[in-house]
Every structure is written in structure tokens, then in C-alpha cells.
Amino acid sequence: MKLRFALINRAKGDGLSGFWMLYRLRQRAGPGLRRGVLSFLLLRAARRHGGYVGPGAVIRGRPVLPHGLHGIFISQYGENCRIYQNVTIGEAAGRAPRIGPDCLIGAGAVLVGGIRLGRGVKVGAGAVVARDVPDHCTVVAPPPRFLVPGGGPGFRPGTSSPGSMKWTSAP
């Protein structure tokens, strides 16, 4: 059964048990050479997996990363979070986002600055979050916009001139 579990985890990209073990060892190490060596090894392992875990990262529990650490930059988040690929959790002006427990962050989402995501927040794929989000809310990306030649419903093909393109909201 252990072999089956290990193979399934490796296949779905969550074969990061060694990485998380190294993270926990670094968290317990006091200041000094041992912590420095563990930090170096952790950063090398994160780079190997295509992500980044900052030196001040605070991770509660073991995160669920269905696509592995690929393109994920971690700062601070709570228990039972599910984070998909290419998510950026970045700091601005020295302040990083705080992610509450039981959150889901979709592929390609960007969380920036000293924001707080409450308990059970869902962030849709591609959404950019720069403000606090209350508990149990869902954040989605802005609606798409289309570049329409001529800029309107009465447009006739072949009548546009250069520079007559206009942005319109998606229907």
C-alpha cells in the first residue's frame, strides 16, 4: 500500500515529501551554520522543482500542490490550502500576503502585497488580488475584452482604417 501511495503521489506531481521534510528541519534549526546549509539545500530543491520558498515562509500543515511546486512562489499560508501551478504569492514593500486556512488558489493567480485572504477563500485562475478578501469569498479574473475592428456592432468588414480598433467588454 505504501508503494502504491508513493507512486500515485509521484505521478500527480506531489512527490515533494523530501522537500517538505527539509523545510521542517530548517524551521526547527536554530541560527547558525546548520540552518544556513539547510536553507541552501532547500532553495536548491525548490529550484529543481521549479518554484521558490522564501526564507521567511510560514507554512502551517502540509500544502496540497496537485501540480507540484512548478511556478509557485510561497510566502505564508494556512492549513489545508490547495495551490495550482504558476501561482505567484509575492511581497510588495516588504509585506507578503497571508493566506488563511482551507483556501484554493487557481492556476496562474497572483497575490501581491500585505493582503489577507480569509478562511475558505477561492481565487480563480488568472485572478490578480491586491486587496484583502473576507472569509468564504470567491475572487475571479476580470472579464475578457475583445479588440474589435471599427469598434462596434455596426462594423462592416473592409471599412476599418488603421487605428480604428477599440476595446469592448466581452458579451
pLDDT in tens, 72-122: 667 677 788 888 888 888 777 878 888 888 999 999 999 988 899 999 999
Host domain of residue 168:
144-171
Same domain, 79 and 161: no
User: How many structural domains compose the chain?
Assistant: 2
Output the pLDDT for position 162.
47
Asked if residue 51 and residue 37 are part of one domain, the reply reads: yes
DSSP assignment of 152-171: STT--TT---TT--EEEE--
Predicted confidence at residue 75, as pLDDT, reads 67
* Span between the terminal Cα atoms of the chain, in Å: 51
> Which stretches of the chain drop beneath a pLDDT of 50?
155, 160-162, 170-171
Sequence-distant (≥ 6) Cβ neighbours of residue 18 within 8 angstroms: 45
Residue 26: other Cβ atoms inside 10 A: 21
What is the model's pTM? 0.64
Do 170 and 128 lie in one domain? The reply is: no
The verdict on 29 and 86 lying in the same domain is yes
Measure the CA–CA gap between 126 and 141, rounded to whole angstroms: 6
Task: Tell whether 115 and 162 lie within a shared domain.
Answer: no
Confidence at residue 106, expressed as pLDDT on a 0 to 100 scale: 92
Same domain, 25 and 88: yes
In order, the DSSP letters of 22-64 are HHHHHHHS-TTHHHHHHHHHHHHHHHHTT-EEEEEEEE-S--B
67 with 149, same domain?
no
Q: Which amino acid is at 151?
A: G
Q: What is the CATH number of the domain that holds 39?
A: 2.160.10.10
pLDDT at 133: 92
